[in-house]
Every structure is written in C-alpha cells, then in structure tokens.
C-alpha cells in the first residue's frame, strides 16, 4: 500500500505543477490534462518511489514527460504558432541603436550563486517567461527547463534550425531585458 502521507504530499503539489505546465504549454486545457496525468502516474507509481530524491523533484520529472506527450498530441497547433512567431519582425529591435550598439548598458547581476538562490529572481523569471509570445516561451523552456537538445526541439515543433535559433535568441534577449526592468537586482528596476 502506498504511504498515505506521501500521497497527500503529491496532491499538494498540484498548484505548483499547474503553474509550470501553464508556463511551458501556454494552453489552459493542455496544462490541466498534463497535470492530471502526472498526478495519476505519480500516485500509481508511489510504491516505486524510494525517497532517493525529493518527492517534488520526482513528480516534476514525471510532469516533464507528460508535457512532452501533450506537445506531441498538439504538434500541429504548436508548430503553426512557432512559424507565425518566427515570421514576425523582432519587436526587440529597439534594444539596439542603428549602429548595433545597445541602448542600455548591461549591468552586473552579481554573484550568480547568490542570484540563483534568490526566490525573487525565479519569481520574476517566471513572470517574464509568461510575458513572452507563446512560441518563444515554449521554445525557451523546452531548451532550458526541459533541457532538450535544439535539433530535437526543432524536429518536435517542425521548425527549421534557423527559425529555432532566431526564436531562442529573441526569447533570451527579451528575458534579460525584462529581468533588468523588473528584478530588484537588475540595472533599471525601480528603486
């Protein structure tokens, strides 16, 4: 019999899982489905959880698989979004002057270890990813959160490598601008 308190811990992860699934999938219905499947799989598999890792890490690992399944089921729709997004001109162009110099000088984000330990940095990062166009947000998280290789992502989304690289570059550039504006440690955050 699976441990009941462990089952309770898994169920309590639902809001956190839903937030991650929404961020990655950018579709409410798909996110709900992926999280439901994750919770079912986790509860069924609890007997196989031996506590070598934190329960949360284990369940998030399951969520990543379910998200990928969901992308595969919705491939066509996701691919069309990505193509549309790649075809649009880059709205981040105003970050540079016509001579190729930046409008704003990038500031130091401090010691990476300390920055990464700040809950606020991760909070603002999530808010910033949420503001990206859907295709850019999906691509960035597939690459950096799901840690998929770029050729694999391009193939999943039916994108040419060039379009993949362009969208990832736009996503990263916008995210660093967003963090500079909104994170307290960023250069231009309101003080």
Partner 1 sequence: MVPFRITCREAQELLSLQRDTSLGPLRRLRLRTHLWMCHGCREVMRHFEILSRAARRLGS
Q: Contact residues for partner 1 (CB under 8 A)? A: 16-17, 20, 23, 56-57, 60, 63, 96, 99-102, 105-109, 112, 115-116, 121-122, 125-126, 129, 140-141, 143-145, 147, 150, 161, 164-165, 168-169, 172-173, 175-176, 179
Q: Find the shortest distance in angstroms from Cβ 60 to partner 1.
A: 4
Q: Find the shortest distance in angstroms from Cβ 25 to partner 1.
A: 14
Q: How many angstroms separate the CA atoms of 49 and 170, rounded?
A: 39
Cα–Cα distances in Å, from 167 out to 120, 129, 139, 155? 26, 13, 7, 14
Nearest in space to 166 (alpha carbons), one of 83, 47, 99 = 83
Which is closer to partner 1, CB of 78 or CB of 174? 174
Which is closer to partner 1, CB of 50 or CB of 101? 101
Nearest in space to 24 (alpha carbons), one of 175, 134, 178, 164 = 134
Which is closer to partner 1, CB of 6 or CB of 16? 16
Q: Find the shortest distance in angstroms from Cβ 1 to partner 1.
A: 28
Which is closer to partner 1, CB of 4 or CB of 94? 94
Which is closer to partner 1, CB of 16 or CB of 79? 16
Q: CA 161, 165, 170, 172 torsion: positive or negative?
A: positive
DSSP 88: S
Contact 86, 43 (CB under 8 A): no
Residues forming a β-bridge with 167: none
Q: Find the shortest distance in angstroms from Cβ 9 to partner 1.
A: 15
Q: Find the shortest distance in angstroms from Cβ 123 to partner 1.
A: 10
């Amino acid at each position: 019999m699976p441990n009941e308190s462990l089952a309770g811990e898994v169920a309590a992860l639902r809001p956190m899982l839903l937030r991650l699934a929404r961020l990655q999938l950018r579709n409410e219905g798909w996110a709900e489905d992926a999280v439901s499947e994750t919770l079912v799989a986790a509860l069924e598999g609890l007997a196989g959880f031996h506590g070598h890792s934190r329960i949360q890490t284990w369940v998030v690992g399951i969520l990543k698989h379910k998200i990928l399944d969901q992308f595969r089921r919705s491939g066509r729709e996701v691919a069309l979004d990505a193509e549309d997004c790649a075809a649009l001109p880059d709205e981040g162009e105003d970050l540079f002057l016509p001579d190729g110099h930046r409008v704003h000088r990038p500031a130091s984000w401090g010691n990476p270890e300390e920055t990464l330990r700040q809950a606020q940095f991760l909070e603002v990062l999530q808010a910033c990813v949420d503001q990206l166009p859907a295709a850019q947000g999906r691509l960035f998280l597939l690459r950096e959160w799901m840690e998929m290789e770029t050729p694999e992502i391009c193939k999943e989304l039916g994108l040419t490598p060039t379009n993949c690289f362009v969208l990832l570059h736009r996503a990263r550039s916008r995210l660093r601008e967003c963090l500079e504006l909104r994170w307290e440690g960023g250069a231009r955050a309101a003080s």
